[in-house]
Amino acid sequence: MAVHTITVEPTGQQFLCPDTKNVLVAMEYLGCDGIQVGCRNGGCGVCRVQVLAGTYTAKKMSKAHVDEADLAAGVVLSCRIFPTSDLTVRVCPKPTVEPALHPTASAGNDG
Ligand code: FES
């Protein structure tokens, strides 16, 4: 078992996380600022972080919570990743889903 240092930006808060534990467990245990804890199993999406540096292994993540664009930007569910090196992360809550605000297209002038 290896133990890695997780650094949380922008606060610079650091904590240790063994490679056998997911990052959320370590963040929660250490009282990391800003992280939200939900299902702890990839089902709710509240624990999103953006990995700014370092490597990790990841369990399957629902595209409902982390889509391709998120993955490309390094956004993952902290409860689903296990560090394989020191990591730098930023807490990245799921954007609030807003109701559709698209007015129906006007067919033209009414008068
Ligand atoms: S805590 Fe629910 S997805 Fe991570």
47 lines ligand 1 (CB under 6 A): yes
Q: How far apart are CA 78 and CA 56, in angstroms?
A: 10
Distance 88 CA to ligand 1 centre (A): 19
What pLDDT score was predicted for residue 31?
Answer: 82
Residue 109: band (very low, low, confident or very high) from pLDDT cuts 50, 70, 90: low
How far CA 24 is from CA of 42, 94, 99, 111, in Å, comes to 11, 15, 29, 59
Average pLDDT of the segment spanning 12-32: 91
Contact 16, 83 (CB under 8 A): no
pLDDT tens digits, residue range 43-101?
Answer: 999 999 999 999 999 999 999 999 999 999 999 999 999 999 999 999 987 766 555 55
What pLDDT score was predicted for residue 80?
Answer: 97
Which of 25, 35, 40 for mutating ligand 1's site (highest number of atoms within 8 Å of CB)?
40
CATH architecture of structural domain 3-91: Roll (3.10)
64 lines ligand 1 (CB under 6 A): no
For the residues of 58-75, what is the DSSP string, one character each?
A: E----TTTS-HHHHHTTE
66 lines ligand 1 (CB under 6 A): no
What pLDDT score was predicted for residue 35?
Answer: 86
Selection from 38, 47, 87, 86 nearest residue 70 by Cα: 47
* pLDDT(105) > 80: no
Taking the complete model, does pTM exceed 0.85, yes or no?
no
The domain ranges of the chain are 3-91
Distance 35 CA to ligand 1 centre (A): 10
Contact 9, 88 (CB under 8 A): yes
Q: Max CA-CA distance within the chain?
A: 74
What pLDDT score was predicted for residue 110?
Answer: 55
What pLDDT score was predicted for residue 104?
Answer: 53
